[in-house]
C-alpha cells in the first residue's frame, strides 16, 4: 500500500471467530475513520444496541467495532476530541489507534489497562504494544500511562492526561539492540534464548548478591509471602514458595493470578510478590490491584523497565533476561527463579534465619549456576537424540517432588505448548491416586530425581511407572549412575545444591520440548492460539 501513515494489528480473538470480517482495523459507516484495538470492551452489548438503534451498521461480531461508530457520532472535525469524549463511556481494557481520512498524517492513540508505547524516530514517530516492535527504528521510547491519549505526527508526539491537559515527559532510552531481536545463527528464537541462559543468570545476579542487607519488606507484621502469577511465571512462583521456605524460613504460598482475586480476603496481610516477565499480564495486574485493596504490600518481579506492573507494585525487582521473543518463556523463567533466590536470601538475612556468612555461602553457589547451565546446554545433542525417539508420542508425563514439582509442571507446559503433545506435570506421589490409569507402553515419563530428601521416594515412583511398562527418562545428578539399570534413559545434569536444581533441570526440559517440537515440524516461536503478552483477563 502507498502512503506515509498507517497501523496494523494482529488480533487475539476475544469476541467473534478469527475471520476477515472480525479483523482490525474497523471503519465507521462512512469509511473515513479507522480503528484498531487491543483489549476488551466489557459493555459492548449495550453500546452495540444503542448504536444499532441510531441506525449504525455494524459488520463484525467484535466488541471493538462499537467504538469506531461512537467516535463517528462524536466527530466534529477533530479526532482526538472525538475520542476523548467517547472514552468515559467505555468499560474494559483498551489500547486504541485511530486515524481519519481528512486529518492526514495524524494518528491518535489512547490506553487503559492495555499496553501502548510510542517510539520517537527521525522524521517519523511510531507506536506499538511492545518495545520489541520498535527497536529497528528507535531506542527512544515514551511510555503512555493509564488513561492517557497521544496525538502522533511524523514530527511531534503530544501526550494528554485524561483531563485534556498536556503532559511533559522525557522519553526513556532502552538499551536493547536490534541484534537482541534477531536469531544470531540459531534456527529459532526459542533455541537462542535457551542458550542465552548462562549469561542471563550472570547478569541478573550482577551487583545484587553483595547487597543482601535491605529495607523492611518483611517487617511490620508481615507473617508470610504470597506469590501470584500466571502460566510459566506461576511455575516460578510455585518454586518460589519452596525457595522462600528453605532459604528464608518464611511461610509462603503460591496462587494463580486469575484465581487470587476471587478468593476471600482473610485478616492476614501477606507480602504479595507478583511474578510476570512481561509486566503486562492482565490477570496479574488485576491481582496486584486486589492485593493493594486488601492492604497488602506488593512487590513485582519483572523483566521490562517501565511496564505496567512496575508502576502498580510498591517495589520492583528487575530480572535482566533481555528481550524474549519466542512465545514460550525460557530465559525469563530462569531469570525469575534467580530473582526469587535473591529475594529469599535477603529475607533470610532480614529475619535472622540466615547469618550473613550463611547467606554468602548460598550466594557463592548461586554464582556457580551459569557454568552448571552451560554444561546442560553442552549435552543438547544427547537430548536431541532422545527427543527424536519419543517425538511421535501422543501423551507424556513429567514427575517431580518438592521444589521440582513446579519444574515438572513447567516441563509439561513447554512440551504441550510448542510440540502439541498432550503432557501432564505431576507431583510424583500423586500418580497412584488416579493418573496411573493413563500410563501405557506408549506414554514416556520424565522423572526429575536430584539427590535431595525426596530421592528415595522418587525411586519408588519410578518403580511404579516402569511396572506399567512406560519408558522412563530420568534427569539426575552426574555421578548418579546406579539408576541407569532401572530407567530407559538417564540424562545427567551437574551437581548443584538441591534448592538450585530447578535451574539445571528446567534447561534440560526446555531442550527436550524444543527438539521434540522441531522433529514434529511445529511453529516453535509462535505456537498456535498463543500470544506473548496476555493482556486480556
- Rule CB under 6 A: which of 417-436 touch ligand F6R? 417
CB closer to ligand F6R out of 117 and 476: 117
- Contact between 231 and ligand F6R per CB under 6 A: yes
Measure the CA–CA gap between 239 and 340, rounded to whole angstroms: 9
- For residues 28 and 525, which CB has a smaller minimum distance to ligand F6R in the complex? 525
Tell me the window of 122-130, 270-278, 429-437, 455-463 that interacts with ligand F6R (CB under 6 A).
Answer: 270-278
Contact between 278 and ligand F6R by CB under 6 A: the answer reads yes
**Helical pair 197-205 and 356-367, crossing angle rounded to 10 deg:** 150
400 touches ligand F6R (CB under 6 A): no
Q: Give 427-449 as a 3 state SS string.
A: EHHHHHHCHHHHCCCCCCEEEEE
Does residue 534 bind ligand F6R (CB under 6 A)?
yes
Query: Could you count the other beta carbons within 10 Å of the beta carbon of residue 452?
Result: 16
CB of 287 to ligand F6R, least distance (A): 10
Q: Which of 114, 233, 308, 470 binds ligand F6R (CB under 6 A)?
A: 233
Tell me the closest approach of the beta carbon of residue 522 to ligand F6R, in angstroms: 14
* Residues 322-381 within binding reach of ligand F6R (CB under 6 A): 328-329
The count of residues interacting with ligand F6R (CB under 6 A) is 14
Q: 474, 473, 477: which is closest to 501 by C-alpha? A: 477
Pure H helices in 54-188: 65-74, 79-86
Q: Which stretch binds ligand F6R (CB under 6 A): 59-67, 273-281, 440-448, 470-478?
A: 273-281
> H-helix or E-strand containing 117?
strand 117-120
* By CB under 6 A, residue 138 contacts ligand F6R: no
| CB-based contact 233:336 (threshold 8 Å) | yes
Q: Which of 161, 530 has the CB closer to ligand F6R?
A: 530
230 in contact with ligand F6R (CB under 6 A): yes
Q: Which is nearer to ligand F6R, 139 or 232 (CB)?
A: 232
> Least distance to ligand F6R from the beta carbon of 233, Å?
4
Smaller CB separation from ligand F6R, 438 or 531: 531
- Least distance in Å: CB of 257 to ligand F6R? 8
Measured between alpha carbons, how far is 18 from 24 in angstroms, rounded to an integer? 10
Q: How many CB atoms lie within 10 A of CB 372?
A: 21
Minimal distance, residue 185 CB to ligand F6R, in Å: 23
Output the residue with the shortest Cβ distance to ligand F6R: 231
Minimum CB separation of residue 417 from ligand F6R in Å reads: 6
Query: Which of 193, 275, 291 minimizes the C-alpha distance to 236?
Result: 275
Q: Which stretch binds ligand F6R (CB under 6 A): 76-84, 228-236, 261-269, 390-398?
A: 228-236
Which residue among 125, 197, 232, 334 contacts ligand F6R (CB under 6 A)? 232
* Nearest approach, Cβ of residue 231 and ligand F6R (Å): 2
What's the count of helices (H) and strands (E) in the chain, helices before strands? Answer: 16, 21
State how far the Cα of 351 lies from the Cα of 399, in Å rounded to an integer. Answer: 33
Residues 280-299 binding ligand F6R (CB under 6 A) are: 281, 284
Nearer to ligand F6R, 197 or 284 (CB): 284
DSSP letter for each residue of 161-202: -TTSPEEP-PPEE----TGGGS-TT-SSHHHHHHHTHHHHHH
At residue 351, what are phi and psi to the nearest 5 degrees?
-90, -5
Specify the stretch interacting with ligand F6R by CB under 6 A; choose among 29-37, 176-184, 226-234, 493-501: 226-234
Identify the H or E element spanning 125. strand 125-128
CB of 268 to ligand F6R, least distance (A): 25
- Taking residue 203's Cβ as centre, other Cβ atoms within 10 Å add up to 18
Q: Are 140 and 312 in contact (CB under 8 A)?
A: no
**If residue 96 lies in a helix (H) or strand (E), which one and from where to where?**
strand 92-100
What residues line the site for ligand F6R (CB under 6 A)?
230-233, 276-278, 281, 284, 328-329, 413, 417, 534
Amino acid at each position: 500500500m502507498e502512503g506515509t501513515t498507517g497501523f496494523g494489528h494482529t488480533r487475539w480473538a476475544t469476541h467473534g471467530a478469527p475471520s476477515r470480517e472480525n479483523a482490525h482495523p474497523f471503519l465507521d459507516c462512512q469509511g473515513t475513520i479507522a480503528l484498531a484495538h487491543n483489549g476488551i470492551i466489557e459493555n459492548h452489548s449495550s453500546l452495540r444496541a444503542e448504536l444499532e438503534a441510531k441506525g449504525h451498521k455494524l459488520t463484525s461480531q467484535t466488541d471493538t467495532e462499537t467504538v469506531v461508530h461512537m467516535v463517528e457520532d462524536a466527530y466534529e472535525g477533530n479526532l482526538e476530541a472525538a475520542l476523548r469524549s467517547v472514552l468515559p463511556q467505555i468499560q474494559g481494557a483498551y489500547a486504541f489507534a485511530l486515524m481519519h481520512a481528512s486529518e492526514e498524517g495524524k494518528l491518535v492513540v489512547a490506553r487503559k489497562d492495555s499496553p501502548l508505547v510510542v517510539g520517537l524516530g527521525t522524521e517519523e514517530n511510531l507506536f506499538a504494544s511492545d518495545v520489541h516492535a520498535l527497536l529497528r527504528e528507535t531506542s527512544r521510547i515514551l511510555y503512555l500511562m493509564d488513561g492517557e491519549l497521544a496525538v502522533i505526527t511524523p514530527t511531534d508526539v503530544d501526550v494528554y492526561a485524561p483531563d485534556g491537559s498536556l503532559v511533559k515527559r522525557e522519553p526513556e532510552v532502552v538499551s536493547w539492540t536490534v541484534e537482541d531481536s534477531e536469531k544470531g545463527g540459531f534456527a529459532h528464537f526459542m533455541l537462542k534464548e535457551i542458550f542465552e541462559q548462562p549469561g542471563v543468570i550472570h547478569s541478573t545476579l550482577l551487583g545484587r548478591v553483595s547487597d543482601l542487607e535491605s529495607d523492611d519488606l518483611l517487617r511490620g507484621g508481615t507473617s508470610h509471602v504470597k506469590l501470584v502469577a500466571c502460566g510459566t511465571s506461576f511455575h516460578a512462583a510455585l518454586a518460589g514458595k519452596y525457595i522462600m521456605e528453605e532459604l528464608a524460613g518464611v511461610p509462603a504460598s503460591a496462587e494463580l493470578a486469575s484465581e487470587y482475586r476471587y478468593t476471600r480476603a482473610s485478616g492476614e496481610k501477606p507480602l504479595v510478590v507478583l511474578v510476570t516477565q512481561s509486566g503486562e499480564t492482565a490477570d496479574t495486574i488485576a491481582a496486584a490491584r486486589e492485593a493493594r485493596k486488601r492492604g497488602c504490600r506488593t512487590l513485582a518481579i519483572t523483566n521490562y523497565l517501565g511496564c505496567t506492573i512496575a508502576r502498580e507494585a510498591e517495589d520492583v525487582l528487575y530480572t535482566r533476561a533481555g528481550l524474549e521473543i519466542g512465545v514460550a518463556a525460557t530465559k525469563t523463567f530462569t531469570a525469575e527463579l534467580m530473582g526469587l533466590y535473591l529475594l529469599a536470601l535477603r529475607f533470610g538475612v532480614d529475619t535472622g534465619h540466615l547469618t550473613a556468612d550463611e547467606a554468602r555461602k548460598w550466594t557463592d553457589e548461586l554464582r556457580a549456576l551459569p557454568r552448571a547451565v552451560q554444561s546442560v546446554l553442552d549435552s543438547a545433542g544427547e537430548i536431541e537424540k532422545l527427543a527424536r525417539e519419543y517425538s511421535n508420542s501422543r501423551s507424556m508425563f513429567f514427575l517431580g517432588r518438592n521444589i521440582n514439582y513446579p519444574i515438572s509442571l513447567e516441563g509439561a507446559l513447554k512440551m504441550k505448548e510448542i510440540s502439541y503433545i498432550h503432557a501432564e506435570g505431576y507431583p510424583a506421589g500423586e500418580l497412584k491416586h488416579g493418573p496411573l490409569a493413563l500410563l501405557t507402553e506408549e506414554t514416556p515419563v520424565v522423572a526429575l530425581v536430584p539427590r535431595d530428601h525426596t530421592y528415595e521416594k522418587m525411586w519408588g515412583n519410578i518403580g511404579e511407572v516402569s511396572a506399567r511398562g512406560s519408558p522412563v527418562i530420568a534427569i539426575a545428578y552426574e555421578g548418579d549412575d546406579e539408576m541407569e539399570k532401572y530407567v530407559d534413559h538417564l540424562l545427567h545434569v551437574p551437581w548443584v545444591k538441591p534448592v538450585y536444581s530447578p535451574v539445571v533441570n528446567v534447561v534440560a526440559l526446555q531442550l527436550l520440548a524444543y527438539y521434540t517440537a522441531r522433529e514434529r515440524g511445529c511453529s516453535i516461536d509462535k505456537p498456535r492460539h498463543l500470544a506473548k503478552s496476555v493482556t486480556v483477563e
